[in-house]
Amino acid sequence: MKSYIKGMGTYVPDRIVTNDDLAKRFDTSDEWIRQRTGIEERRYAEEGIGTSDLAKEAAVRAAADAGIEIEQIDFIILGTLSPDHHFPGTACYLQPKLELAGVPCLDIRQQCTGWVYGMTLADSLIKTGPYQNILLVGSEVHSHALHFDDAGRDVTVIFGDGAGAAIVSPAPEGSERGVLAHALHADGRHADRLCYRLFDISRIPLADAEYLESVENAWPYMEGRHVFKEAVVRMPEVVREVLASTGHTIDDIDLLVPHQANLRINEYVVSSLGIAPEKVINNIQRFGNTTAASIPIALDEARRNGQVSQGDLVCLVAFGAGFTWGAVTLRL
């Protein structure tokens, strides 16, 4: 038995924030951001709107696209690094918004690789469990926890808010559609290179004023060059690994959907793999890095704009904080 994507949905907030808008708040420029990251604009949620709110909208759209009622969803997997609360998991806040009390739900905390880990888990649950319609959603509201100051500008310019979702179901019998293979990795030796230490409450009391005085503790911290160097090696490596496991080659791929961390990272990955740029989707220019939501948002866009069709071989690949990285191949 295979699992396949029965339907998808995207939701991004209406509010567009351009590079020039950011340049009014701290020392940066449209030119610097475009040149280093490819980003032109991103979306920000309004105050009071959280990750589970965006996730709900994407979920409703995915269910409609799949042709199912919300009450047919029988498992919820939610990837995020910007949870509604430190605990419990954000899936527990999403579930009642969908009126799905009793349905099992869990958070995946694999950051930018969250949706790829989630797809792997959904595939396994379909193969081993009784589930028919798993909601897999990546959702992020980064904008409420970014440092709009010169000291935080390297991180702040990169991230945007948004959500993308899929309904993952058992593939119709005899269909070529469905997940073919996955490859997952992590190397926690790099965990402190890209992290958010504010909620280190198991080690440091939250009220420790001295601890919070450090910008590195109070705001997301990123060693950008180190992340860049690892990403451009790990992403091509894991694409080759996942293809080899089913005897496919780079030429077999109809669409590569890389995590949208930085357009320059993806350009390196594309040239290193030797894949034709028209077989790759990038939309970071309009949404920034939406972490766990970036792959479903990009894949959904490719489905809707005709860049990919039913039965095409799609490869999803991500790299993110942890470090975590992974790839999935599927026939759409």
Q: Which residues bind ligand ACO (CB under 6 A)?
A: 28, 32, 36-37, 112, 153-154, 157-158, 194, 222, 224-225, 227-228, 231, 261-262, 265, 289, 319-321
In whole angstroms, the minimum distance from the beta carbon of 37 to ligand ACO comes to 5
Angle at alpha carbon of residue 189, lines to 288 and 90, rounded to 5°: 50
Shorter beta-carbon distance to ligand ACO: residue 70 or 222: 222
Shorter beta-carbon distance to ligand ACO: residue 54 or 167: 54
Shorter beta-carbon distance to ligand ACO: residue 51 or 169: 51
In whole angstroms, the minimum distance from the beta carbon of 294 to ligand ACO comes to 8
The answer to whether 326 and 317 have CB atoms below 8 angstroms apart is yes
Residue of minimal Cβ distance to ligand ACO: 224
Question: What residues are annotated to the active site?
Answer: 112, 259, 289
Neighbours of 218 (CB within 10 A): 17
Distances (CA, A) of 176 to 183, 239, 308: 20, 21, 15
In whole angstroms, the minimum distance from the beta carbon of 322 to ligand ACO comes to 9
Shorter beta-carbon distance to ligand ACO: residue 27 or 173: 27
In whole angstroms, the minimum distance from the beta carbon of 318 to ligand ACO comes to 8
Cβ neighbours of residue 264 under 8 Å, at least 6 residues apart? Answer: 36, 37, 38, 228
In whole angstroms, the minimum distance from the beta carbon of 148 to ligand ACO comes to 11
**77 strand-pairing partners:** 106, 136
Neighbours of 39 (CB within 10 A): 25
Task: Give the residue from 162, 137, 134, 158 showing the smallest Cα distance to 146.
Answer: 158
Shorter beta-carbon distance to ligand ACO: residue 212 or 222: 222
| Rounded distance between C-alpha atoms, residue 80 and residue 108, angstroms | 7
